[in-house]
Amino acid sequence: MPAEVLRWQDLENTARQFFHIHNYKEIRTPYFEETELFARSMGQTSEVVQKQMLTLNSQKEEESASHYSLRPEGTAAVLRSYIENHMHRHENLSKLFYVGPMFRGERPQKGRLRQFHQMGVEAIGPQSSSPYLDAEVIAMSVHLLKAFGLNHFTLRINTLGDDSDRTNFARFLRDQLGDRMNTFEPALQKSFKDNIFRVLDSKDPQAKKAVKGLGLNHSYLSKESADYFAKLKATLKEMNVEFEEDFGLVRGLDYYTHTVFEISDPSLGSQDALGAGGRYNNLAGQLGGGGDIEAIGFALGLERILLSLGENKSVASSPLSYYIIALEENFFGKAFMLLNALRHEGIAADIGYKSASVKSQMRTANKANPNFVVLIGEEEIVKNQVTVKNMKTGEQTSIALEEFERFALENR
């Protein structure tokens, strides 16, 4: 609704300004893509691909019904576009941002919608990994939330390391959890083979208990990965970005390598993630781009930000300068031309389209909340003037018609 849109615009304006300061450029990708793109990037075992894809049903027989899906997130599409447009040939590092709707077929509840909106960034480039870039992206997500006026959230970070670190981590989990796996819910038992990391963010009570007892640490990391993460943490500390280290944070999407992070506001209840992100160094290679193209990004959920802000932050709409009232039907033509002249000068103006009593027209005018009301009646027509009422002071003056445009330009 229009009053809510003002709050959305306020967030979007803040974000656009913020992204500009950090030299991120806007990218707009289509709202739907080939289903395959999402399946390959987010992973067949991810909940989004398994249960939440909204796939289009084409009427054309030659097009397989499951060929296209509404985008459940932005990262895969941005990377697809990066590769398709050979962006790596034009710049070493592409810093991109997006704002727009995403779609997931989840059961709606507070903070969880089937169409929701994300604003996100992706920093992509050949051999672009740097703990400083990771720190920049993580700090941006935190500072942007602060710029929106939020303060009560926590940032958790972790690293998954590279491919071989991940394999070590998975082996460790299989060894530790193997004999308890049959106590977990069936879907989770299946992921034991396919993707053991699902156990770490599962809501299954048995799994939660087992994970708690694991005493997770970073022993599976190579020295190189551990050093990278240490440098990132030191940089975040230097930037005064507060964080918690969470060894169990793996994220629900498969494309992540090394740094992962999540920001949550516990007061939001079960859907408490305001945003999340991480590094994905293998995805470009998997999607047919250069294997050396590395990337990191995050996405924030707009609806959750608004929930977290609560109702207290209202935003004023831009005021309407003039509201014109024709006191009789046959003066409407003149009033309408005056309205057009004002708008032509870039002055926000409107008119009462129905002839009604002055009292009822004034009531409508009051609702429009203009700075001035202009009355055109018998006397005004005869004397070639208008009556202007200042709605703040209540003061009423007569102004010659040829003077009015100048008056309006000076008094909006």
Distance of closest approach, residue 262 Cβ to ligand HAM, in angstroms? 7
- Separation CA 82–CA 94 (nearest Å): 9
388, 396 in Cβ contact below 8 A? yes
Name the nearest CA neighbour of 251 among 6, 73, 5, 64: 73
- Separation CA 380–CA 384 (nearest Å): 6
Distance of closest approach, residue 254 Cβ to ligand HAM, in angstroms? 11
DSSP 31: S
SS3 state of residue 34: strand
Beta strands 320-326 and 349-351: pairing type? parallel
Q: Binding residue for ligand HAM (CB under 6 A) from 75, 128, 158, 282?
A: 75
Taking contact as CB under 6 A, which single stretch among the options 20-28, 33-41, 107-115, 241-249 is the one that binds ligand HAM?
Answer: 107-115
Taking contact as CB under 6 A, which single stretch among the options 87-95, 234-242, 271-279, 313-321 is the one that binds ligand HAM?
Answer: 271-279
| Count of residues engaged in binding ligand HAM, rule: CB under 6 A | 24
| String of DSSP letters for 269-287 | TTS-EEEEEEE-SSHHHHT
258 binds ligand HAM (CB under 6 A): no
- Separation CA 47–CA 204 (nearest Å): 14
54 binds ligand HAM (CB under 6 A): no
Distance of closest approach, residue 270 Cβ to ligand HAM, in angstroms? 12
Binding residues for ligand HAM restricted to 208-237, rule: CB under 6 A: none
CB-wise, 148 or 322, nearer to ligand HAM?
Answer: 148
CB-wise, 271 or 361, nearer to ligand HAM?
Answer: 271
104 binds ligand HAM (CB under 6 A): yes
Could you report how far apart the first and last alpha carbons of the chain are, in Å? 26
197, 324, 326 from 365: Cα distances, Å:
61, 8, 12
Directed axis angle between helix 332-344 and helix 401-410, to 10°? 40
CB-wise, 207 or 295, nearer to ligand HAM?
Answer: 295
Q: Which helix (H) or strand (E) holds 322?
A: strand 320-326
Q: Binding residue for ligand HAM (CB under 6 A) from 74, 131, 161, 352?
A: 74
Q: Binding residue for ligand HAM (CB under 6 A) from 22, 112, 174, 180?
A: 112
29 binds ligand HAM (CB under 6 A): no
Which residues lie closer than 8 Å to 107 by C-beta, 6 or more apart? Answer: none
Q: Binding residue for ligand HAM (CB under 6 A) from 43, 125, 131, 301?
A: 301
Q: Binding residue for ligand HAM (CB under 6 A) from 166, 198, 304, 389?
A: 304
Distance of closest approach, residue 307 Cβ to ligand HAM, in angstroms? 9
Distance of closest approach, residue 314 Cβ to ligand HAM, in angstroms? 22
CB-wise, 216 or 302, nearer to ligand HAM?
Answer: 302
CB-wise, 51 or 193, nearer to ligand HAM?
Answer: 51
Which residues lie closer than 8 Å to 214 by C-beta, 6 or more apart? Answer: 173, 176, 177
Distance of closest approach, residue 234 Cβ to ligand HAM, in angstroms? 22
- Separation CA 303–CA 226 (nearest Å): 35
131 binds ligand HAM (CB under 6 A): no
Distance of closest approach, residue 255 Cβ to ligand HAM, in angstroms? 8
Q: Binding residue for ligand HAM (CB under 6 A) from 15, 188, 250, 274?
A: 274
Which own/partner pairs from 330-338 qualify as long-range (CB within 8 Å, at least 24 positions apart)?
331/376, 331/377, 331/378, 331/380, 331/381, 334/376, 334/381, 335/374, 335/376, 338/374, 338/376, 338/386, 338/404
Residues that bind ligand HAM (CB under 6 A): 73-75, 104, 106, 111-113, 116, 118, 120, 122, 273-278, 297-299, 301, 303-304
